[in-house]
Amino acid sequence: MLHKYIHSFDKTRIHYIIKRSKNKHFLVFIHGVSANWTIWKKQLEFFDYAGYSYIALDLRGHGMSDRPSEEKKYIFQYFAKDIRAILKVEQIKDFTLIGHSLGGGIVLDYVTHLKKQPKAAIVIDTATVNPFEHKAVLHFNKYISRFLRFITKHQTLKDNKKKKEIDLYHVYKRNKLILAWQWIKQCPLKVIITVLDKLEEHTQQHGQQTIKRLRRLKTPVLVISSLFDPIVSARYGEDISKYAKNAVFRIIKGVNHAVVIDKADEVNTTLLKFLQKRQIKEYF
The CATH number for 58's domain is 3.40.50.1820
Please state the pTM of the whole predicted model.
0.92
In a domain, 146, yes or no: yes
Q: How many angstroms separate the CA atoms of 33 and 59, rounded? A: 8
In a domain, 26, yes or no: yes
Helix, strand, coil percentages for the chain (3-state, nearest 5): 45, 20, 35
In a domain, 282, yes or no: no
In a domain, 241, yes or no: yes
In a domain, 283, yes or no: no
Give the chain's end-to-end CA distance (angstroms, integer): 20
> Can you give the pLDDT of all 284 residues of the chain as single tens digits?
999 999 999 999 999 999 999 888 999 999 999 999 999 999 999 999 999 999 999 999 999 999 998 999 999 999 999 999 999 999 999 999 999 999 999 999 999 998 889 999 999 999 998 776 656 556 566 666 776 777 777 777 777 677 888 888 888 877 665 666 676 677 888 888 899 888 888 888 888 999 999 999 999 999 999 999 988 999 999 999 999 989 999 999 978 899 999 999 999 999 999 999 987 765 44
Q: What are the strands, taking DSSP E only, across 46-100?
A: 52-57, 95-100
Which residues contact residue 49 at a Cβ distance below 8 angstroms, ignoring those fewer than 6 apart? none
In a domain, 284, yes or no: no
Q: Are 100 and 31 in contact (CB under 8 A)?
A: yes
In a domain, 61, yes or no: yes
- Domain span at 245: 2-277
Q: Return left, alpha or beta for 160; rule: phi > 0 is left, psi -120 to 50 is alpha, else beta.
A: beta
In a domain, 137, yes or no: yes
Number of independent structural domains in the chain: 1
Q: How many angstroms separate the CA atoms of 99 and 122, rounded? A: 6
C-alpha count within 13 angstroms, C-beta hemisphere, residue 151: 8
